Structure formats: C-alpha cells, structure tokens
Amino acid sequence: MIRFEKRPQPSRALSLATPLLAVLATMIFGGLLFMALGKDPVTSIVTIFWEPLFGEFAFYYRPQLLIKGAPLVLIAIGLSLGFKAGIWNIGAEGQYIIGAIFGAGAGLAFYPAEGWFIFPLMILAGAFGGWIWAMIPGFLKVRFGTNEILVSLMLVYVAEQFLASMSLGLLKNPEGFGFPGSRNLQQYEPAHNAELLAGSGMHWGVVAALIAVIFAYVLLTKHRLGFAIRVTGEAPRAARFSGVSPARLILFCMGLSGLLAGLAGMFEVSGPAGQITIDFNVGYGFTAIIVAFLGRLHPIGILLAGGLMALTYIGGDIAQSNLGLPAAAIQVFQGMLLFFLLAFDILTNYRLRRQHTAETA
C-alpha cells in the first residue's frame, strides 16, 4: 500500500521540479491524443510550446504573450491574496466586465473631446467598477455571513446580462448602423490604451500586471497586512492575534481582487479589444483562478503560470491553423495540463510512503 505522508516543510526542489514534470507528462499524453487524431505528435507539441517562443515568427508572438498573459496575471494576483486568506472570490469574470463597462463608459462620455485627463479617469472608473462589484459579496459576507463563492459567481451572470444590455443600448455606437457594440476606443486617441512602444505588446495593462506582481510580493513578505493574510489562511484562530480584524481583511481582499480585475477589463477594452460588445468577456476571470493555483498563489509563480497559459492559447491557435487540429483537441490538451499540474503538486507537500498496514484514510 502506498500512501502520502505530509512533509514537515514543502520541498523546495520539488516545487520547482513538479511543474516541469507536469508539462512533460502533458506532452506525452497530449502527444498520444494528437497521434490518435492522426497528427504527428512531435510536430504538434513543438508547434504549441516552441513556435510562439522561438519559431520563425516569434517576434510577433512574444509580444502577443504579454497581451494574452497580462489580464490573467493581473486578475490572478488579486485573487491569490484572498485565496491565501481563505477568501474565495470566484466572480472575477463579472468584476472584469463591470470594470470594462465603467472604464469604457467614462471614456465615451467625453467623446469626441480631447484631454489628457480622460485616460486616467477611465483607469479610476474601471478600478472603481471592479471594486464595487466585488464589494457586494464582500459586504454581504461581513454583514450577513453569506458565502462569497456563490454571491460572486451569481454576480458574473448579472454582469453578463448587463453587458448585453449596454452593448445593445446605452453604449451602442451611434454611428454603427444599428449593430451592437460601442465605439472603438482604439480610434479615440485620448481613451486609447495604445502600446507604449509599437510592436512590443507593452500596454498599460502589462505594466499594471508587473506592478501588481511586485506589489503582492512586497505585501506578502514585508507588510503586516500580508502577514495577516498568510496567518489567516494557515491558522484562522491565530489570526485574531495578528491585529487585523477578519472583516477588514475580507473587505480588503475582496476589494483589491475586484479592483485588479476591473483594471484588467478596463485595459483590455481600451486597448487590445477596443470596444464593448456582447461577447466582450472571453473567460479571463475564470482562467485566472486556475492561473492563481498553478502559480501556487505565489506572485512569481502566477507570473510564470500566466505566461504558460497564454503560451498554450497562442500555440494552440497556431496548431489549429498549421496542423488542422480541432479547437476541441486543444481544449482537452489544456485540461490535461491543468490536471497534471494540480495532481503533481502533492509531491511538493507530501512524500510517497510504502505502508504495510491496511489502514488508510
């Protein structure tokens, strides 16, 4: 009988090695899947993992990794703080949507005026939108003790309906011949979140994501609040003595994660996406939850996990186009990757032990 035994300390070496092991296992099983679909497994894997980074057109894909990865990292950083403290905001998708609507709305309110203040105002509006949307479950939890997982999830659907209403109504482009969707902010200079250096993929959202990573790192290692977050997650009873009230902690974690998700939505709508449409949200809020866990709730880990997810998206699209792999196969492949990453994680905290008695948990 083999069983897991908890390590006194998480293994450092393995925490670095397990993600690599997981990627390797995914490559093997993914390769088998691609082979079953009649594709060359090696070419498929190379296309997904190698092509975007070092292939012929890497000069284009590398910046795209930033564009795809930034919202994931930005949202995941916010979520990870709450997750560490046992506060489960899984409604980032909704906060992302509301942030985008508020941000775009603030910008479009001034159309076609010029002014340096418009973009900063949009940032504030986007952050506020995400923050307020997350404060609803936060406040309800503090005041009534309602479960924040469920309230935040419910609010995603409310936000999606609100998005449809906005794209067809208030924010609809008056010059869009009746089609749904707002004006394109890329064509409204003062509201455009343009690349800071053309062709680099660096826009303000990427900058914000990097700042968030550093901020979270400093907060968690150097600040009293970060200490309170860690203690609350590990030993809720002891947390009372850390000097931060649980209610304050909940409001802080929910608010911050909503704020960052709102920012991500705002930077997306004013930059890469350009406009509010019915299908504006593409699931970043949910994917970010996975990214947060893949990154082990550690700021640097999240940065890497966000990059890895972005890589499989971009590589997956290339594989579809170049090799004719169906989108569904890429989805299954991503699912496998997540499974392996999650499953192998146990080796970091537990060790395998052979056991002679039949007693198991």
Partner 1 sequence: MDLSAINPLLFVAGFLVAATPLIFAAIGELVAEKSGVLNLGVEGMMITGAICGFATAVETGSPLLGFAAAAAGGAALSLLFAFLTQVTLANQVASGLALTLFGLGLSALLGQGYVGVKPPRLGDIDFGPLADIPVIGPILFTHDIILYLGIALVAGVWVLLRFTRAGLILRAVGESHNAAHALGYKVRRIRTLAIVFGGACAGLGGAYISLIRVPQWTEGMTAGVGWIALALVVFASWKPWRLLLGAYLFGGITQLQLNLQGAGVAIPVEYLAMSPYLITILVLVILSADKSAAPASLGRNFHASG
Partner 2 sequence: MKLSTILTSATLALGLATGAVAQDKTKVGFVYVGPVGDGGWTYEHDQGRLAVEEEFGDKVETVYVENVAEGPDSERVMTQMALDGADLIFTTSFGYMDPTINVAKKFPDVKFEHATGYKRADNVSTYSARFYEGRAIQGLIAGHMTESNIIGYIGSFPIPEVIRGINSAFIHARKVNPDVQFKIVWAYTWFDPAKEADAAKVLIEQGADVVLQHTDSTAPQAAAQEAGNVITFGQASDMAQYGPKPRVSSIIDDWAPYYIERTRAVMDGTWESTDTWDGIGAGMVGIGEISDAVPADVKAEALELKEKIASGEYHPFTGPLNKQDGSEWLADGEVADDGTLAGMNFYVEGLEGTIPQ
Binding site for partner 2 (CB under 8 A): 56-57, 59-61, 64, 67-68, 164, 168-169, 177-181, 184, 186, 195, 198-199, 268, 272-275, 277-280, 282, 313-314, 317-318, 320-322, 324, 326-328
| Token pair recorded at residue 124 | 């504030």
Closest listed residue to residue 292, CA positions, set 307, 305, 310, 281: 305
Contact 78, 257 (CB under 8 A): yes
Tell me whether residue 198 or residue 361 sits nearer to partner 1 (CB atom): 361
- Nearer Cβ to partner 2 (139/204): 204
Please check whether residue 93 is in contact with residue 288, taking contact to mean a CB–CB distance below 8 angstroms: no
Query: d(Cα 109, Cα 248) in Å, to the nearest integer?
Result: 34
316-336 core/surface letters (b: 16 or more CB in 10 A; e: else):
bbbbeeebebeeebbebbbeb
Give the nearest distance from C-beta 314 to partner 2 in angstroms. Answer: 7
- Binds 158: which of partner 2, partner 1, none (CB < 5-8 Å by kind): partner 1
Contact between 101 and 170 (Cβ < 8 Å): no
* Shortest CB 187 distance to partner 2, Å: 8
With beta carbons less than 8 A apart as the criterion, state whether 229 and 86 touch.
no
Alpha-carbon distance 188 to 141, whole Å? 40
- Between 23 and 149, CB nearer to partner 1: 149
Which residue, 146 or 161, is less far from partner 2 as judged by CB? 161
67 vs 123, which CB is nearer to partner 2? 67
With 0-12 / 13-18 / 19 or more C-beta atoms within 10 angstroms meaning exposed / middle / buried, residue 152 is: buried
Closest CA to 313 of 341, 340, 333: 333
Minimum distance of partner 1 from residue 46's CB (angstroms) = 21
Non-local CB neighbours of 359 within 8 Å, separated by 6+ positions: none
Residue 226 or 272 having the CB closest to partner 2: 272
Q: Which does 339 bind (CB under 5 to 8 A by kind): partner 1, partner 2, none?
A: partner 1
Instruction: State the residues that interact with partner 1 by CB under 8 A.
Output: 4-6, 37, 88, 90, 140, 144-147, 149-151, 153-155, 157-158, 161-162, 164-165, 286, 289-290, 292-294, 326-336, 338-339, 342-346, 349-350, 360-361
117 binds, among partner 2, partner 1, none (CB under 5 to 8 A by kind): none
> Which of the choices partner 1, partner 2, none does residue 318 contact, using the CB cut-off of 5 to 8 A by kind?
partner 2
Q: What does the CA dihedral 198, 212, 101, 293 come to, rounded to 10 degrees?
A: 110
Q: What's the min distance (Å) between Cβ of 165 and partner 1?
A: 4
Distance in Å, CB of 345 to partner 1, minimum = 6
**In this complex, which beta carbon is closest to partner 1, that of residue 214 or of residue 327?**
327
CB 254 within 8 A of CB 87: yes
